[in-house]
Amino acid sequence: MTTETLNGTVVLISGASSGMGRATAERLAAAGAKVALAARRVDKLEELADKLRADGHEALVVAADLTGAANAQGAVDKTIAEFGRLDTLINAAGVMLNGASEESPLEEWDRMVDINLRGLMYVTKAALPHLLEAADTSPRSVADVVNISSVAGRFAAPTVAIYNATKFAVTGATEAWRQEFTTRNLRFSVIEPGRTQTELFDQKANSDADFTAAFGEVEQLHAEDIADAIAYIVTNPRRVAVNEIVIRPTDQP
């Protein structure tokens, strides 16, 4: 996308250090938005911010572990202090640590709940008043929250129980929030990707092999494909609310 349809708006992206979050930051910056980049890996954030600034965009590094409520509030506060407003929140941080339930450490289950669900909740809660204010004051007359769920938020599978639980929760919460805020020009949308080339499958040994065994070899989606979908959602005029997008590789059963 090269058309500058988000001029004057501010986007906060969790999980911006890699994958879908990084690709989305690049895409929305190209559309004219100022971007606040939130994640734990400061070196990755600084590298991305430098790249965006070199291309003439405004970028803010927000180094934070968003699984803590105070940290999430601090990330939102830093964004407001630097840019003065918040129009769009992209919750892209996530972790997938699947495996046989009898053998999986409880710590891995806790980590998925903390990152995939608690972090999303904490950032969304902190961002709400600013998003509602932006919806009232923006020339676009709308604000957006886009949550990245997964096809695992629609269909359960063996050895995926806790990841399923977190993604079902994200999908359900997004729809409930959509209904709650639909009359206040704050749109909530959920994207449920299938197999995508990201670091998600690098987070636990053999997870990629497990996927291949279950679904076979497929031509995977790219992170930029998900960024395209997000850009489509948040650049639509106020009258258009895209509630849910399921996006899979063509070859994925």
Cα(18)–Cα(22) distance, rounded to whole angstroms? Answer: 5
Among candidates 49, 38, 43, which has minimal Cα distance to 71?
38
122 is catalytic: no
Cα(164)–Cα(156) distance, rounded to whole angstroms? Answer: 6
Q: Which of 122, 163, 177, 181 is catalytic?
A: 163
Residues with a known catalytic role: 163
